[in-house]
Structure 1
Amino acid sequence: MEFVQPIRDPEILADIKDYLRGTNQRNYMMFMLGINTGLRISDLLKLRVRDVQGTHIVLKEQKTGKTKRILITPDLKKELNVYTEDKQPIEYLVKSREGINRPITRSMAYKILRSVADEFRLEEIGCHTLRKTFGYFFYQQYKDPAMLMKLFNHSSEKVTLRYIGIEQDTMDMHLKRFKV
């Protein structure tokens, strides 16, 4: 499996949001859910309209089996309200166009993200990019690796910082200034 990176540039992130908002509402909502909740794609794709109608998303993580409770931010809530206004509670949020009420597959989510990456000439982008982008911006805003570690269910802060690319950023910054 390839190692993927977060999207670090806020301008590129804003451009991607605008692009997806204008091209495909479903894909836009998948992207917004990913970068605003930090959910793994496997958990995100299983969300139904009823799961986002309250103040929190409550789910049992597929990977860990642990129950997770995530506050829906006010901005995400506005987007979700518009997106779900004509949908039934049992509908999947990221619904496949094939068949009856099924979510898209992880491989389709990957294809969607790869096409966005191609459009914006980004490399090292995949399904975990959404989760890592959430973590990267959360860390930039709060500088609280302990809280992020808990949100991600990681074993240490070091694992979390490596996961979201902060460790790499620090190495790159030091090497840029390094002289012999």
Structure 2
Amino acid sequence: MASVSFVLKEPNSKEETLVYLLFRFSNSKLKFSTGEKILPKFWNPEKQKAKETKQFPEFPEFNSRLDNIEKWIKSIYRKLLNDEEEITLDKLRAELTKKVKPQAEVKKLDLIAFADELIKNTSKKPNTVKNYKQALVKLKEFKEAKRKPLEFESINLEFYNDFTKYLQERGFSINSIGGFIKNIKVFMNEATDRGLNKNLEYLNKRFRVIEEHSDTIYLTQEEITKIYELDLSENSRLERVRDLFIVGCNTGLRFSDLNQINSDNFISNGSQIKVKTEKTGETVIIPVGKRVKEILDKYKGVLPNSISNQKMNDYLKEICELAELCESVLVSITKGGKKVQESFKKHELISTHTARRSFATNLYLADVPSITIMKMTGHKTEKAFLKYIRLTQEQNAQKLVNHPFFN
């Protein structure tokens, strides 16, 4: 039995988001962009229609449009059944596209034109949009340098190999190249969802997002104590940044989540923080430790506001230099296909994300089970979580000294 439903692409968005049609039949599912957008607050998920409210006066026309799309897909499906034709997702998508987007309205887009349009209309967060734009710039440069078309059909393994080689020759690191590939796959997925692309070679396991383990640092409990005990009473600018960073080191919360904390987030008589994380929508509950309580008391229960991420990172480097975190750290990355090592002072490598990584690593070193830490960091897979753990061979051996196997 065939069924129709409508869902929002980003149901938690604060901006308008696309409405998708889901058509299920014979253990198959067609996902099709209606092209219609709506603010989630005006959407009724139970009725799968726009709310009938004066705040959204165009709801009659909007809902009528969805009704028409539902009628069209059912009609197309019945016709294929009656004609005893093989019913495929491609056939359904092609016929529905003719109805939803008449030929006069359908623009022939290549990957670059589509990505450009997607970026202009996306409601993603600024950092995500920034990454999309960087990937688009590289695609444009590649197209110009190679004088090759970038139609959807040309995004295959040959393109993948040529594009990654092109970036390697220009000195990009493996992780940077992986980031560009990841966003190209985002563009292709979106084009496929909208019925504009039928080439699925980008899903081939060899068309993969490459990455390498980076030597990103973490702070030990002793180093965090040095930062916490630093006297910054005569520099409120650095003091506020330091205090917020310490809260991050003791909760594992991203700085975007620390910004949203208020009195409503404290539960169990203030002994725990409950937060719905902004990035993943995951709800986490974290014990409130002694240092976090002291900082909350200092600011009368309200955490200091953070500033821009770039400024925070600049100030943190300044703070950690004052705390004399000056040991040399060798960082290894692959650039232009070659392994390169660079030496830095530890304070030069500190960023806001160091707090979250330090929280996870210090708990892990304290023998807190991974699953328990993941409940607080919001990681859904152990593979993703373990990327945060910075454990030297010596630390790993020390953890095992008292294990029954070695005694």
Settle same-fold status: TM greater than 0.5: yes
| Structure 1 contact 20–27 (Cα < 8 Å) conserved | no
3-state secondary structure, aligned to 1:84: coil
- Residue 134 of structure 1, CA deviation: 0.9
Structure 1 residues 125, 3: closer, same or farther in 2, change over 3 A?
Answer: farther
Aligned partner of 1:162 among 379, 387, 390 = 387
Is 1:67 matched with 2:283? Answer: yes
Alignment RMSD? 3.0
Which deviates more from structure 2 when the two are superposed, residues 104-113 or residues 46-55?
Answer: 46-55
Distance in 2, Cα, partners of 1:55 & 1:48: 14
Is 1:44 matched with 2:258? Answer: yes
Map of 1:177 onto structure 2: none
Tell me which amino acid in the other structure corresponds to 1:4: T
Percent identity of paired positions between Structure 1 and Structure 2: 27
Return the TM-score normalized by structure 1: 0.71
Larger RCO (CA under 8 A, 6+ residues apart): 1
Distance in 2, Cα, partners of 1:17 & 1:154: 27
Map of 1:151 onto structure 2: 376
3-state secondary structure, aligned to 2:299: helix
Which deviates more from structure 2 when the two are superposed, residues 57-66 or residues 142-151?
Answer: 142-151
Map of 2:76 onto structure 1: none
Structure 1 residues 107, 16: closer, same or farther in 2, change over 3 A?
Answer: same
Distance in 2, Cα, partners of 1:31 & 1:20: 15
Is 1:112 matched with 2:312? Answer: no
Tell me which amino acid in the other structure corresponds to 1:163: Y
Map of 1:5 onto structure 2: 217
- Residue 48 of structure 1, CA deviation: 3.6
Q: Which whole-Å deviations, capped at 9, do the CAs of 1:90-117 have from their partners, x for residues lacking one?
A: xx6223xxxxxxx422222222222224
Return the TM-score normalized by structure 2: 0.34
| Structure 1 contact 132–163 (Cα < 8 Å) conserved | yes
Whose helix proportion is higher, 1 or 2? 1
Structure 1 residues 30, 161: closer, same or farther in 2, change over 3 A?
Answer: same
* Uncovered stretches (5+) of structure 2, i.e. residues with no partner: 1-175, 177-213, 327-345, 398-407
Is 1:128 matched with 2:357? Answer: no
Aligned partner of 2:293 among 70, 77, 95 = 77
- Residue 36 of structure 1, CA deviation: 0.8
Map of 1:29 onto structure 2: 243
Q: How many residues align?
A: 158
Larger Rg: 2
* Uncovered stretches (5+) of structure 1, i.e. residues with no partner: 86-91, 96-102, 175-180
Structure 1 residues 62, 115: closer, same or farther in 2, change over 3 A?
Answer: same
